Amino acid sequence: MRIAFLYLYIFAIISGCSLDNLEPSQTNTFLKFYSETNEMESKDLIVLNDGFLVLSTYSESSSLLMKTDLLGNKLWAQSINDFLGSSLVEIADGYILIGDGINSDDDSTYMQLIKTDFDGGINTTIQVGYGAQHGSAIMLSSTNEIIALGYTSTGQLNDSNDSTYVIINGYDTNLTKTWDEIRQYPVFGVDIIPSKSLYESNNGKLNWISYSSQDEIITNTDLTAISPDAAPVGNLPLFDQNSAANFEGDLVKTSVGFAMVQTVAENGFKIGIATSINGVVMDEFVIPLEFNSIVSSITNTSNGLLIAATSDNHEERERSDWNLLLLEVDINGQAKTNGINVSYGGDGDEIPVRIRNAKDGGYVVLGTSVNTKGAKQTFILKTNKNGLLE
Amino acid sequence: MILIKKKRVRMYKTKTFYSLIIFILIGFSPSLLFAQEEKSDCVLNLEQAQSKYNQGRIQDVESLIGDCLKEKGFDKAAQTQALKLLTLSYLFLEEPEKAEKTMLQLLSHNHLFTVNTAIDPSEFINLYNKFRHEPLYSIGILGGLVTSNPIVTKLNSTQDLNNSNKQQYAPLLGFRIAVNAEYKLKDNIYAVAGLGFTSIKFQKTHTPTNPISNISIDGNGFDGIELQTSVELPLLIQYHIMQTNKLTPYVALGVAPQLLLNASYPGETIKNTVGGSAPATTQTINLTQDRNSFNLYGVIAGGLKVRINEGFFNVQLRYSYGIFNSTKEESTLNPSNPNLLWDLSESSDVFRLQDLSIAIGYTFDFYKPKKLR
């Protein structure tokens, strides 16, 4: 036995070419995991000229802001305590994050905006609202104004409506308030929460969709279009008020208007897709898939739309885990015969959060991977233009 | 009374036993004596024949030992001596055809027979050299331990390796067993072909660092033992550095085409731990489709043969270097089992394989003496 170990030792020495001198291979398509803890929750990703900016949470009160290069290698990472981020936007001199600030004294939450420099250093932090507010989405308007979208559930409306409702406000890029007051946007008798995307339409209106947090009832999803610093002008229920409760949808600006996706409760969970022009819903239907799908995000392709969802589509039907599904539809939301239709994942759950267009024509998916032991990691999947790893 | 009875019974038994021994001795002794006598006659005849040969009465040799040779009345050593004596007699009686015939009988009877150049007549040595007296081929079996370690050519990972620890490989013990055939090409140079079965394994570990804290936690990350089994057909040229009656050191060089039978991460040897959570494990992950099924190895070997009877004990040290990549590059991000990538966070590196083996075995020589043209 000693001889065998000696023999092994000698071989380990002579064959052990050090990997320290070997540069990691860099490919345009990749899958990368990031885990500060085993409680990572991915929140948002934006594509920069020189990389990706990723926002995750890694505990019940801390967020991770991380910049990677275009190949997924970390350039820097910043921990932000007492803050659960939701979304982020790039501005001329840094980045602005929106999310929930946490009062460490009583664990109460409030909407919080944080401005950082290009290295993630925090410059400005502001608290929005009166308490129990939550930040959901953020955008930079064509007039260089920061629009912050969130919701509150404390019944602060003047009409004493105590339902959960949308709040929205405007700031300059130094986070100085530019609107006279926070806009409040209720739907009477229904709790609504805005989703993670906020866009400005060509006619200068703000567009987002909301979902309901009320369980076990038929809920609605609304396309809302308002003019900045003005009263809301639209509130259109989608999918025949058949959206699945508590599932956040997404919308994306298209060449002609907007496309929206939402999980619909129809024979399980299905992908609902709708299109609108100038705040008017043009079409809406449910994609007839044979398996359950919970939709997360949507982006444009060269001649259609790409939906990121999680599905239980397995050849082995006894499996119950959820895999990432990328499904391409045409501009009207109809499934494309030769479009992208690919699944990724193993025995754990792969849950996409955001899909974006990469600079090279491919796609970037930010998501959360939950392995079979329940450990959660942030992942970035960068595919080619066909949605594939190569 | 009882004691007397017991004593009588014991005496009866002893008597019966001795009677049996005497019967056996009497019954078999004539044939034993006869056999000894017959054998002794042949040995005496051989001694007489040798004496006649020494006296120059060579024509008497055949008549003295011819019958004993036909009737196989010699033991192996005497048979060798008798055939040599007869061959010498025919040579000096100028009966070359008979001499060649008995030389062939001699070499067929005793494969290890060699001439003594110091005392044997030159005619006998010349005749001996006209015959193929070395093994026509040799067939042996070799088995032993093998350790294998990848030579990584492309470092892949689902982790950010620019800011993290890199993965590590460690060789583990496997085994190789092979059947080899050797054929002499020319002086000291042999062609060796074989059929071998190899089972190798090596361990890959990777402990990535966390993005914010840049700390790697002990026990975190991927830990798996890859197992590969394959068959190979080594083709080597073997050179005998020197050759004595007992010892033959040698070196060999060649190639070994190898066909992969199976590659896997056996279930109990693979795990991945994230952020201090319980390690995620899977069932056995089959990697066969993620590895190239054919490979070619360059082989260099050295060893020592120790002559034992009509064969040799062989100890060999061999190094093999995979000329082609073991990994299919297209499988690194698209493994046949997606659990590898997504649940175990493992993206295979692109690597070649090298191994070092030490083996022992025994090789049988197969002789077919004949007159060379």
The strand pair at A146-152 and A133-140 is best described as antiparallel
Residue B28: the pLDDT is 42
Residue A225: the pLDDT is 66
Asked if A8 lies within 8 A of B275 by C-beta distance, the reply is no
Q: Which residue has the higher pLDDT, B300 or B18?
A: B300
The average confidence (pLDDT) of chain B is: 87
Q: Please list every residue in chain B whose beta carbon sits closer than 8 Å to the beta carbon of residue A12.
A: 147, 149, 170-171
pLDDT for residue A152 is more than 90: no
Q: How many residues does chain B have?
A: 373
Q: Please list every residue in chain A whose beta carbon sits closer than 8 Å to the beta carbon of residue B149.
A: 11-12, 15-16
Contact, B296 vs B258, CB < 8 A?
yes
pLDDT for residue B196 is more than 70: yes
Which residues, 6 or more positions from B186, have their beta carbon under 8 angstroms from its beta carbon?
none
In angstroms, the CA A384 to CA A389 distance is 7
Q: Please list every residue in chain B whose beta carbon sits closer than 8 Å to the beta carbon of residue A346.
A: 282, 337-344
Residue among B148, B154, B160 with most chain A CBs within 10 A, to mutate? B160
Which of B147, B163, B278 shows the shortest C-beta gap to A74? Answer: B163
**Residue A52 forms contact with B (CB below 8 Å):** no
**Residue A19 forms contact with B (CB below 8 Å):** yes
Q: Please list every residue in chain B whose beta carbon sits closer than 8 Å to the beta carbon of residue A35.
A: 208, 210-211, 274-275
Torsion, Cα of A297, A306, A29, A372 (10° steps): 50
Q: What is the mean pLDDT of residues A1-24?
A: 66
pLDDT for residue A57 is more than 60: yes
Residue in chain A nearest B145 by alpha carbon: A4
Choice among A377-386, B84-93, B153-162, B361-370 with the minimum mean pLDDT:
B153-162
A234-257: pLDDT as tens digits = 667 777 767 787 788 999 999 888
Asked if A346 lies within 8 A of B166 by C-beta distance, the reply is no
Burial class for B347, CB neighbours closer than 10 Å (0-12, 13-18, 19+): buried
In angstroms, the CA A115 to CA A97 distance is 6
In angstroms, the CA A12 to CA A1 distance is 16
Residue A103: the pLDDT is 84
Q: What is the mean pLDDT of residues A313-332?
A: 81
Asked if B356 lies within 8 A of A31 by C-beta distance, the reply is no
In angstroms, the CA A338 to CA A326 distance is 13
Residue in chain B nearest A38 by alpha carbon: B275
pLDDT for residue B162 is more than 50: yes
In angstroms, the CA B168 to CA B152 distance is 10
Q: What is the mean pLDDT of residues B359-370?
A: 95
A191-216: pLDDT as tens digits = 788 889 999 888 888 888 888 755 43
Residue A5: the pLDDT is 60
Residue B2: the pLDDT is 44
Residue A78: the pLDDT is 94
Asked if B342 lies within 8 A of A11 by C-beta distance, the reply is no
A270-311: pLDDT as tens digits = 999 988 887 778 888 899 888 899 999 999 999 999 999 999
Q: Which residue has the tokens 């790893």?
A: A389
**Residue A16 forms contact with B (CB below 8 Å):** yes
Residue A17: the pLDDT is 54
Residue A193: the pLDDT is 85
Residue A4: the pLDDT is 57
Q: What are phi and psi of B254, to 5 degrees?
A: 175, -160
Residues 359-388 of chain A with CB under 8 A from chain B are 369, 371-377
User: Which among B216, B134, B132, B128 is positioned nearest to B167, based on CA atoms?
Assistant: B216
Q: What is the pTM of this model?
A: 0.84
Quick one: what percent of chain B has pLDDT higher than 90?
69
Buried b (16+ CB within 10 A) or exposed e, A158-171: eeeeebbbbbbbbb
Which of A16, A346, A374 shows the shortest C-beta gap to B277? Answer: A374
Residue among A371, A377, A383, A384 with most chain B CBs within 10 A, to mutate? A371
CA A61 to chain centre: 19
Residue B335 tokens, joined: 């493994």
Residue among A1, A13, A20, A35 with most chain B CBs within 10 A, to mutate? A35
Q: Hey, what amino acid is at B88?
A: L
Q: Which residue has the higher pLDDT, A156 or B209?
A: B209
Which of B163, B211, B356 shows the shortest C-beta gap to A36? Answer: B211
Q: Which residue has the tokens 């921990």?
A: A79
Q: What's the gap in Å between the CA of A252 and the closest CA on chain B?
A: 28
Q: Please list every residue in chain B whose beta carbon sits closer than 8 Å to the beta carbon of residue A374.
A: 277
Q: How far is CA A268 from CA A126, A145, B100, in A?
A: 42, 41, 95
Residue A158: the pLDDT is 45
pLDDT for residue B13 is more than 80: no
Q: Please list every residue in chain B whose beta carbon sits closer than 8 Å to the beta carbon of residue A376.
A: 274
Q: What's the gap in Å between the CA of B150 and the closest CA on chain A?
A: 8
Residue A297 tokens, joined: 């995000």
Residue A206: the pLDDT is 87
pLDDT for residue B39 is more than 80: no
A352-390: pLDDT as tens digits = 999 999 999 999 999 999 998 899 999 999 999 999 998
Q: Hey, what amino acid is at B87?
A: T
**Residue A112 forms contact with B (CB below 8 Å):** no
Strands (E), B266-293: 270-273, 285-286
In angstroms, the CA A255 to CA A299 distance is 12
The full DSSP string for A79-108 is: EEETEEEEEEEEETTEEEEEEEEE-TTT--
A78-106: pLDDT as tens digits = 999 999 999 999 999 999 999 999 987 87
Residue A185: the pLDDT is 78
Phi-psi region of B49 (alpha: psi -120 to 50; beta: other; left: phi over 0): alpha
Q: What is the mean pLDDT of residues B120-146?
A: 95
Q: Please list every residue in chain B whose beta carbon sits closer than 8 Å to the beta carbon of residue A68.
A: 160
Which residues, 6 or more positions from A317, have their beta carbon under 8 angstroms from its beta carbon?
none
In angstroms, the CA B262 to CA B247 distance is 39
pLDDT for residue B31 is more than 50: no
Choice among B33-42, B212-221, B245-254 with the minimum mean pLDDT:
B33-42
In angstroms, the CA B296 to CA B285 distance is 25
Q: Is B49 helix (H, G, I), strand (E, B) or coil?
A: helix
Residue A359: the pLDDT is 95
Q: What's the gap in Å between the CA of B160 and the closest CA on chain A?
A: 5
Q: How many residues does chain A have?
A: 390
Residue in chain B nearest A381 by alpha carbon: B158
Which residues, 6 or more positions from A195, have their beta carbon under 8 angstroms from its beta carbon?
A136, A137, A208, A209, A210, A211, A248, A249, A250, A251
Q: What are phi and psi of B351, to 5 degrees?
A: -145, 155
Contact, A211 vs A249, CB < 8 A?
yes
Q: Which residue has the tokens 């054998």?
A: B39
